Amino acid sequence: MAHPSIVILTGAGISAESGLGTFRDEGGLWAQHRIEDVATPEGFARNPQLVVDFYNTRRAQAHEAVPNAGHAALARLQAEHKGEVLLVTQNVDSLHEKAGSRDVVHMHGALNSALCGACDHRWEAPLKMKVGEACPRCDKPTARPDIVWFGEMPYYMDRIEMALARADIFAAIGTSGNVYPAAGFVQMAAHVGARTVEMNLDPSETVALFEETRPGKASVTVPEWVGDILAE
Ligand code: NAD
């Protein structure tokens, strides 16, 4: 195929070598908190200070982090591949953008964005958000991190599903396959006959659904895979 359409899904694993912990990292930020407390609307309603502090810490870490060879290789693929490349990430850091990627689809939101809980207005988040900050549009004290919490609907699903429906290649990188709907993308892509490849350190929950697996660190496997695609 001359110019295959490619859909890529990245997860916390691609940012691990940039020093941002994954969900499972022992002793990491996630290990110190229960998901229900820091990543659900109910947790935010119960203790907004804890949640705002948690994301302030993550935002500060992400602000300092630098992209690794995995992010850089995907930016190269977007720049050099002649067909469509849709880069979808579950990550809320900006390492894809820092590596030079454009049009990154942040399906779980972004640390550098704030959201009004009342009117859905979005604006650039300050490095340190405060509880009860006013929305610049409706002036209600309902600012929150623009993060898709468990129980909320991921963003851009129509766009992602349309791209998956015409995908020739689907790649999942650094994601454990635990969180839906992202974990179901491989099935959607396989359904339309796309080639599917997983690049992960450990086999994901959905590894059996992939045609090809390339185990290892993203900083190694992703540049190799991108080199192979561009050489096709
Ligand atoms: P996860 O933590 O559940 O899984 C990470 C996966 O990456 C694991 O399967 C692991 O084997 C693999 N991995 C670890 N180091 C790797 C490396 N160097 N190279 C390749 N693979 C590696 O992450 P997930 O599947 O993205 O979980 C989904 C949720 O976690 C999302 O909602 C996301 O928003 C959130 N999250 C995001 C970040 C971030 O933005 N950087 C960090 C932690 C969690």
Pocket test for ligand 1, best of 14, 22, 107 (most atoms within 8 A of CB): 22
The tally of domains found in the chain comes to: 2
Element (H, E) at 143: strand 143-147
Alpha carbons 161 and 155: distance in angstroms, whole number: 11
Whether residue 206 is found in the same domain as residue 171: yes
Range(s) of the domain holding residue 47? 21-64+112-147
Whether the CB of 155 sits within 6 Å of ligand 1: no
Whether residue 78 is found in the same domain as residue 9: yes
Per the CB < 8 A criterion, the answer to whether 77 and 230 are in contact is yes
List the end-to-end C-alpha distance of the chain, in Å, as a whole number: 9
Whether the CB of 176 sits within 6 Å of ligand 1: yes
Whether residue 159 is found in the same domain as residue 217: yes
The pLDDT tens digits along the chain (232 residues) read 779 999 999 999 999 999 999 987 787 888 889 999 999 999 999 999 999 999 999 999 999 999 999 999 999 999 999 999 999 999 999 999 999 999 999 999 999 999 999 999 999 999 999 999 999 999 999 999 999 999 999 999 999 999 999 999 999 999 999 999 999 999 999 999 999 999 999 999 999 999 999 999 999 999 999 999 999 9
Read off the CATH number of the domain in which 207 is found.
3.40.50.1220
Nearest protein CA to atom 15 of ligand 1, as residue:
13
Give 8's DSSP letter. Answer: E
Whether residue 123 is found in the same domain as residue 224: no
Alpha carbons 76 and 222: distance in angstroms, whole number: 11
Alpha carbons 215 and 182: distance in angstroms, whole number: 20
Instruction: Please tell me the total number of residues recorded for the chain in this structure.
Output: 232
> What is the per-residue pLDDT for 1?
73
pTM over 0.75: yes
Answer with the one of 147, 167, 197 that is the final residue of a domain.
Answer: 147
* Closest atom of ligand 1 relative to the 15 alpha carbon: 41
Per the CB < 8 A criterion, the answer to whether 68 and 218 are in contact is yes
Whether residue 84 is found in the same domain as residue 196: yes
Whether residue 30 is found in the same domain as residue 92: no
Whether residue 126 is found in the same domain as residue 171: no
Whether the CB of 218 sits within 6 Å of ligand 1: yes
Tokens coding 194: 């796309």
Nearest protein CA to atom 31 of ligand 1, as residue:
90
Whether residue 161 is found in the same domain as residue 204: yes
Answer with the one of 126, 147, 168 that is the final residue of a domain.
Answer: 147
CA of 98 to the centre of ligand 1 (A): 18
Whether the CB of 12 sits within 6 Å of ligand 1: yes
Alpha carbons 62 and 175: distance in angstroms, whole number: 18
Identify the burial level of 77 via C-beta atoms within 10 angstroms of its C-beta, where 0-12 means exposed, 13-18 middle and 19 or more buried.
buried
Whether residue 123 is found in the same domain as residue 198: no
Whether residue 120 is found in the same domain as residue 229: no
Read off the CATH number of the domain in which 57 is found.
3.30.1600.10
Whether residue 125 is found in the same domain as residue 231: no
Alpha carbons 232 and 76: distance in angstroms, whole number: 15
| Positions marked active-site | 108
Whether the CB of 16 sits within 6 Å of ligand 1: yes
Beta strands in 15-127 (DSSP E): 85-89, 105-106, 109-116, 122-124
Q: What is the DSSP string of 95-133?
A: HHHHTT--S-EETTEEEEEEEETTT--EEEPPSS--TTP
Whether residue 26 is found in the same domain as residue 121: yes
